[in-house]
Amino acid sequence: MSADLRERLGPTLRTLAGIDTEAGLLDARRQLIGFLSELAAGLPTDLRTAFTAALALNDDVQHRYFEERMQWLARWLDRDVKTARRRADEAIRFAAESLNIGSDDDVDRYPYGDWYLARLRTVLRLDVAQPSAVEERTIVAARDDLAEVILSTSIPRPAGVDGGEQAAEVAVLYGGTLTKADWSTASYLTYTIRLGRSLRRRESTELGVCVTIPPGQPFNPRYSFQPLRRCDEFDLRIRFGESAGARRVWRISGLPRGMIDDFAAPEALIAPDAAGDIHMNFKHPQVGLAYGARWAG
């Protein structure tokens, strides 16, 4: 990736990817790849392949020149290079529309990929040896014959903590079957779920997934959701348990991702209840910004 990456990033992409203006080249590259990989995960398979090939996100397509990547895509599509270029342009345009960039807000047009979230409800348990997040989604199809969805989660290590790749166990609790799971980077997990039934446009289904990390594995003390497609509601509960009294917790209500790790605004402090729980609800979170909580202590 170009050495002048930081200078070439525009303000919109920098904000969406959560890249701090002071970030070094490696950090900026890592955050940009993670953001683009998450964006690609929401595309249909053919467009996802075209998108990742065009931007050299695919491990099999690390050619230096765009023309070489389009030749690879043409072979994959079994089409000519001109068709491959059109498909790449379509994929990039589709990805931009999923962020609602350059589109109107007419919900009937569904400019959010092939599905969107009517609701994401997360229960994060930190009072157990293996922290886990139960994520329950109400998924609405934006096209006919929606048979699978691609989800993702980031489990980064805290700043300054050395170590190898992160690990996590993904279990589908209801609504579908896990068919694939890949670590796109050392801390970014993408997984594919085949739904229990195919959906027609505007039909909805419920899907429950549990993500568990190994005991003792360090991770950033935060839980945030950064929608890259339409989401009508995000509901978050965190159970700290007996350690709640020693913690300071800040509510994150729509911040660029790069601001989260050191966010400590006094007015955003919230107190866990007597059971050591906090509860937050966000209506219509804005695409590209982060929502959730950060804690310390």
Within-domain flag for 169: yes
* Residue 105: inside a domain: no
159/145 Cα distance (integer angstroms): 43
Provide the pLDDT for residue 122: 98
Instruction: Please report the pLDDT score of residue 65 as a whole number.
Output: 86
| Beta pairing class for 290-296 and 222-225 | antiparallel
Q: Is 48 exposed, middle or buried (0-12, 13-18, 19+ CB in 10 A)?
A: buried
Average pLDDT of adjacent 10-residue blocks, the chain of 297 residues: 61 70 72 80 77 86 86 90 88 71 40 80 94 95 91 81 77 96 82 95 94 88 90 95 86 87 91 93 88 92
- Examine the domain organization and report whether 82 and 131 are in the same domain: no
Chain centre distance of CA 173: 20
| pLDDT on residue 41 | 73
Domain endpoint, select from 98, 127, 145: 98
Same domain, 37 and 159: no
Task: Please count the structural domains in the chain.
Answer: 2
Q: Sheet of 176-185: strands edge to edge?
A: 146-154, 188-199, 176-185
The residue type of 281 is N
Nearest to 139 by CA among 175, 121, 115, 108: 115
Secondary structure (H, E, C), 55-91: CCCCCCCCCCCHHHHHHHHHHHHCCCHHHHHHHHHHH
Task: Verify that 93 and 127 share a domain, yes or no.
Answer: no
pLDDT given at position 229:
84
Question: What's the maximum distance between 2 C-alpha atoms anywhere in the chain?
Answer: 64
**Do 54 and 67 form a contact (C-beta atoms < 8 A)?**
no
Q: What is the pLDDT of residue 22?
A: 66
Q: Of the candidates 112, 116, 73, which has an alpha carbon nearest to the alpha carbon of residue 95? A: 112
pLDDT at 40: 80
Selection from 30, 1, 3, 5 nearest residue 257 by Cα: 30
In a domain, 110, yes or no: no
